[in-house]
Chain A
Amino acid sequence: MENNSLLDVQHLSHMFHLKRKMTVKAIDDVSFQIKKGEIYGLVGESGSGKSTVARCIMNIYKPSEGEIFYKGIPICKNKEFRKNRKMLQMTRQMIFQDSASSLNPRMKIEDIVAEPLRIYSGKGRPGKKEIEKQLELVGLDRSYMEKYPCELSGGQRQRVAIARALSTKPELIVADEPIASLDVSIQAQMVNLFRKLQKEQGFSFLFIAHDLSMVEFLCDRTGVMYHGKLVEEGRTKDIFAHPEHEYTKALLAAVPIPDPRIERQKGEVL
């Protein structure tokens, strides 16, 4: 195995059992690697299995087949997982699409951000200064500490979720459609924020999205998923320049272009 790859997903498959004899293959033989300090984009439509991949990586689902190596540790083995649990939970963090439901509505922002550190650091509750620093990182000032999630807008809530994820100084962040439910203008802010944080902190980043527009900006490498399979993978630049798979081409063509003349022509061709 290469030394510089942080996460190595090998021949991952996962099945959901609907009825006794009916199973659905949510992911089918997916392999990819994420290097240290790399931003990897995983793109696909809803139901393509991209979220299932993320959950397998975070040990939420146990894959039916295949193995995931994180820092060389096969984390899908129960024994290995239990042995390294604390390290795994400290160094991997996840950000969800819907921050409204992934943040506890009855906790203050400062408590939300402090929680992972309080649990994992073993040093008890971090000081106000530390929380303030975390919030500053994501562009929120100290006035937000006393607020509750419902008082924030979608973008601000997502920033809190990022601050929480960053508080344990993770080496891998998995973000499952973190910007899909935000306005375009806020999406741009978030993408810039991700870039900035990644540069400063050097974590590896798995960015899951259902469209390609922001991926181009953010990701070093990109994988395209379709019906549970990884149909195309490569450097983002290459994929945008020479898409190979039909689905990738369709995804690229579907990105709306803010030019009435071009868009109208597109409509007439179809």
Chain B
Amino acid sequence: MLYYGKKLVIFMISVGLLSLVTFYVSRLAPGDPLFSYYGERVEKMSPEEREWAEEKLGLNDKISVQYSRWINQVFHGNFGRSYKYKMDVLDVLKSRLGNTLLLGGTGFLIIFAGALLLGVICAWKEGGWLDKIICKAGTIISCVPEFWLALVLILVFSVSLRWLPSSGAYAVGQEKNISDRILHMILPLTVIVTEHLWYYGYMVRNKMLDEIRADYVLLAKAKGIKKSRIMLVHCMRNIMPSYLSIMAISVTHIMGGTYVAETVFSYPGIGTLAYESARYKDYNLLMIISLMSGIIIIACNMAAQILNERIDPRMRISRQSEMQEVDNYE
């Protein structure tokens, strides 16, 4: 219990630090927050009007004062209003969150299952032509920048072939049409999956190969178990703890990838929202998005750590033995 308590405290501190850093950096960066609130009108404002507007948004005070005011609000459950949308930021977030979860979640599931499948196939046919092709192709594709791949896909499939839509989450008025949604998701999903799948597949492959070389596989063979069962039951089971913890960390990578894909495809999700809010200095919105992303990242990393230590029965022991003190007289 103490163990989880400690983790929780570390978690809180990390989130606090994150909010502080984002707050300062966003405010110190150049740009005019009034622009996002008043739009074009800002350019025609007199200095007095500007001052009054800044006063109204609370932008005149020192950053530290602003920060403490913001923190105070947050503890009362109020995250402020979005300058651009003139709505509570939580409502803005809510309207976009579903789209991102759909895109990122599907991407994650495909990568999770696909990497496992690819890795096992490669390990099974180690050194065979399939293994070689998958490994080589994976290395090359992983090196292609995400936005470039996205642009090429748009050029080929939307502009030239006109098979798939190039942007948005759904056509106008087709919000509830599932097939239309899927059609809109194909290109961004392709980008997200191809950028990450190989890396994790390669990891699974190497882990599997390590396991296959282990002695217990020899014993399993000697007792008459077929290769398929050894691979799928014995080896898979042993790579699962480390795979799960790797995949917990991968959530953050995939989330980053989703944000980039969303921006390129103008997909109405958190990614585009984050981009806009940073660009137009929509402070309150920016804060909540970075906080939310940060919380997910930190939580996933912690989950990975805990998973790693808890799932494998050996880990419990090795955690103990790590604690053996080794004084080195320094």
Contacts of B222 in A (CB 8 A): none
CB-contact partner of A60 in B321, B323, B326, under 8 A = B326
Q: Please give the distance in Å from A56's CB to the nearest CB on chain B.
A: 10
A62 within 8 A of B: yes
Contacts of B327 in A (CB 8 A): 61-62
**CB-based contact A81/B324 at 8 Å:** no
Q: Please give the distance in Å from A22's CB to the nearest CB on chain B.
A: 8
Give the number of chain B interface residues (Cβ < 8 Å): 9
How far is B284's CA from A246's CA once the two chains are assembled, in angstroms? 77
**CB-based contact B329/A59 at 8 Å:** yes
**CB-based contact B325/A78 at 8 Å:** no
A32 within 8 A of B: no
**CB-based contact B320/A19 at 8 Å:** yes
CB-contact partner of B326 in A18, A61, A78, under 8 A = A61
How far is B326's CA from A16's CA once the two chains are assembled, in angstroms? 9
**CB-based contact B323/A18 at 8 Å:** yes
CB-contact partner of A62 in B320, B321, B323, B329, under 8 A = B329
**CB-based contact A18/B320 at 8 Å:** yes
| A18-B320, A19-B320 as given contacts; A81 in contact with B325, CB under 8 Å | no
A266 within 8 A of B: no
Contacts of B324 in A (CB 8 A): 16-18
Contacts of A82 in B (CB 8 A): 329
Contacts of B323 in A (CB 8 A): 17-19
- Place the interface of chain A in its size category: 10 to 19
How far is B330's CA from A59's CA once the two chains are assembled, in angstroms? 11
Q: Please give the distance in Å from A172's CB to the nearest CB on chain B.
A: 18
Contacts of A17 in B (CB 8 A): 323-325
Flag A27-61 by CB within 8 Å of B: 1 or 0 each: 00000000000000000000000000000000111
How far is B328's CA from A126's CA once the two chains are assembled, in angstroms? 29
How far is B320's CA from A18's CA once the two chains are assembled, in angstroms? 5
Contacts of A60 in B (CB 8 A): 326, 328
For A79, the closest partner residue in chain B by CB is: B329
For A55, the closest partner residue in chain B by CB is: B326
Flag B300-330 by CB within 8 Å of A: 1 or 0 each: 0000000000000000000011011111110
Contacts of B329 in A (CB 8 A): 59, 62, 78, 81-82
Contacts of B328 in A (CB 8 A): 60
Q: Please give the distance in Å from A122's CB to the nearest CB on chain B.
A: 22
For A76, the closest partner residue in chain B by CB is: B329
How far is B321's CA from A81's CA once the two chains are assembled, in angstroms? 26
Contacts of A16 in B (CB 8 A): 324-325
How far is B322's CA from A16's CA once the two chains are assembled, in angstroms? 10
For B2, the closest partner residue in chain A by CB is: A20
How far is B329's CA from A78's CA once the two chains are assembled, in angstroms? 6
Contacts of A61 in B (CB 8 A): 326-327
Cβ < 8 Å to B, chain A residues 58-90:
59-62, 78, 81-82
Q: Please give the distance in Å from B264's CB to the nearest CB on chain A.
A: 45
How far is B321's CA from A12's CA once the two chains are assembled, in angstroms? 21
For A82, the closest partner residue in chain B by CB is: B329
Q: Please give the distance in Å from B6's CB to the nearest CB on chain A.
A: 13
Flag A185-225 by CB within 8 Å of B: 1 or 0 each: 00000000000000000000000000000000000000000
For B326, the closest partner residue in chain A by CB is: A61
Contacts of B320 in A (CB 8 A): 18-19
Q: Please give the distance in Å from B230's CB to the nearest CB on chain A.
A: 27
Q: Please give the distance in Å from A52's CB to the nearest CB on chain B.
A: 10
How far is B327's CA from A62's CA once the two chains are assembled, in angstroms? 6
Q: Please give the distance in Å from A147's CB to the nearest CB on chain B.
A: 26
Query: What would 22 A/B residue contacts be, using CB atoms closer than 8 Å?
Result: A16-B324, A16-B325, A17-B323, A17-B324, A17-B325, A18-B320, A18-B321, A18-B323, A18-B324, A19-B320, A19-B323, A59-B329, A60-B326, A60-B328, A61-B326, A61-B327, A62-B325, A62-B327, A62-B329, A78-B329, A81-B329, A82-B329
- What 10 A-B pairs come out closest when comparing CB atoms? A62-B327, A18-B320, A16-B324, A81-B329, A78-B329, A59-B329, A17-B323, A61-B326, A17-B325, A19-B320
Sample of 9 more A-B contacts, CB < 8 Å, known A17-B324, A59-B329: A16-B324, A16-B325, A17-B325, A18-B320, A18-B324, A19-B320, A60-B328, A61-B327, A78-B329
